[in-house]
Amino acid sequence: MNGLSVRLSAALAAVLLFLGGCALIQPPAADDGRATLVRDGEALVWQDEYRFVPPPRPWQLIDLDEDDYSVGYMMLCDEGYPCQSTLAYAEEPFGYSLDFETRQEEFFRRFLWASRVNFAEPKLQPTEVFGKEGLIAVTEGIEPVLGHKVHAKVVFARRGERVVAFYFTQWRAADADYDLRDEQDFDRFVESFEFLRPSFFEQL
Amino acid sequence: MEGHQRNLYLYDRFNARVAGVSRDQVATLEHWAKDLGLEFPIFSNPIGHLGIWFGALQAGYPMFNRTTVIIDKWGVIRYMQPGNPNYREILTVLKQLHEEEGRR
């Protein structure tokens, strides 16, 4: 036969082949994500999957069409440029490993990659999230060309066997001071977060 | 790519293997896979036979359109979807195939 023949080992159930290249332009999703957010007292329930207390205004919900974000908020300020904070829960944070220490290394290799940020070695602190082991990583990234900096705090946690993450970033000009009061909103967001049912992966 | 790497342990669980195909040269793919820390094979197919085969190569367009294909152990294509991979859909299909395998 001309061309390529695919021979499968009898031991395998399946071969998954993906042809890489450019993504096709995807049609916009039918809903904007907000339809899946339901208010439950002071909390919000997202897709019957998570329940959390949203950060107060002026934090704004952001719709991000990226797999790395499940739910995120941002806050702009006008003390120079850039002046912005974000907080998010990521069901599929960057990286692959199920081990937290390895995962945080993989995570920071890709996190804010498009922003060309050079991260300092993160300060790591073991913690407990959802009654299980967790890891907090705090670091600063420098964007040397534009003269921007970003403070980042990432909380790695476990959902079933997989690693999930919460992260907070605050962007400032290199010569400006951070205002880490916003980080307290992030901490409250993490503390309020709860899973309402086993994840897709736990049910596989 | 990252999603597939993240799910490798689940593919193993469902007795499946994953491979990528790209029109890039071997050296490019080798560097890229190393940089991303990928642990599955990526085939270099510059001429693009596989893209033609699976309908992922448009006439006059040099690159493959992203396409995910699942082939069962009997060589039958059981799933093919253009666009970004839907990992949950992929895992659901692999789980079904694994269960089928157990029944045959």
- Residue B36 pLDDT: 87
Task: Say what percent of chain A tops pLDDT 90.
Answer: 70
B37 touches A: beta carbon within 8 Å: yes
Alpha-carbon gap: A102 to the closest alpha carbon of chain B (Å)? 12
Cβ contact A8–B73 (<8 Å): yes
Kindly report, residue by residue over A120-164, the tens digit of the pLDDT. Answer: 999 999 999 999 999 999 999 999 999 999 999 999 999 999 999
Q: Is the pLDDT of residue B103 over 80?
A: no
Q: Is the pLDDT of residue A53 over 60?
A: yes
- Residue A11 pLDDT: 59
Of B61 and B39, which is predicted with more confidence? Answer: B39
CB A45 within 8 A of CB A196: yes
CB A111 within 8 A of CB A90: no
B73 touches A: beta carbon within 8 Å: yes
Task: Say what percent of chain A tops pLDDT 70.
Answer: 84
Q: What is the pTM of this model?
A: 0.86
d(CA A22, CA B84): 9
Of B57 and A104, which is predicted with more confidence? Answer: A104
Q: Is the pLDDT of residue B89 over 90?
A: yes
Confidence class for position A36, pLDDT limits 50, 70, 90: confident
- Residue A125 pLDDT: 98
- Residue A158 pLDDT: 97
Nearest CA to B94 out of B1, B2, B9 is that of B9
Q: A88 pairs with which residues across the strands?
A: A72, A167
Confidence class for position A30, pLDDT limits 50, 70, 90: very low
Q: Half-sphere exposure of B1 toward its Cβ, with a 13 Å CA cutoff? A: 21
B29 touches A: beta carbon within 8 Å: no
Cβ contact B65–A201 (<8 Å): no
Mean pLDDT of A33-55: 85
Q: Is the pLDDT of residue A70 over 70?
A: yes
CB A104 within 8 A of CB A156: yes
Alpha-carbon gap: B71 to the closest alpha carbon of chain A (Å)? 5
Mean pLDDT of A78-105: 94
The DSSP call for residue B57 is: B
d(CA A82, CA A147): 10
Alpha-carbon gap: B22 to the closest alpha carbon of chain A (Å)? 5
Lowest model confidence (mean pLDDT) among A11-25, A124-138, A177-191:
A11-25
Lowest model confidence (mean pLDDT) among A25-29, A188-192, B40-44:
A25-29
What beta strand segments (E) does B13-72 contain?
16-22, 42-44, 67-72
Q: Is the pLDDT of residue B78 over 70?
A: yes
Confidence class for position A31, pLDDT limits 50, 70, 90: very low
> What would the two tokens of residue B80 be?
């093919």
Mean pLDDT of B77-103: 92
Mean pLDDT of B37-58: 92
Greatest CA separation found in chain B? Answer: 45
Kindly report, residue by residue over B61-75, the tens digit of the pLDDT. Answer: 888 999 999 999 899
Supply the mean pLDDT for chain A. 86
Q: Is the pLDDT of residue A79 over 90?
A: no
3-state secondary structure of A16: strand
Of A169 and B53, which is predicted with more confidence? Answer: A169
A113 touches B: beta carbon within 8 Å: no
d(CA A179, CA A188): 16
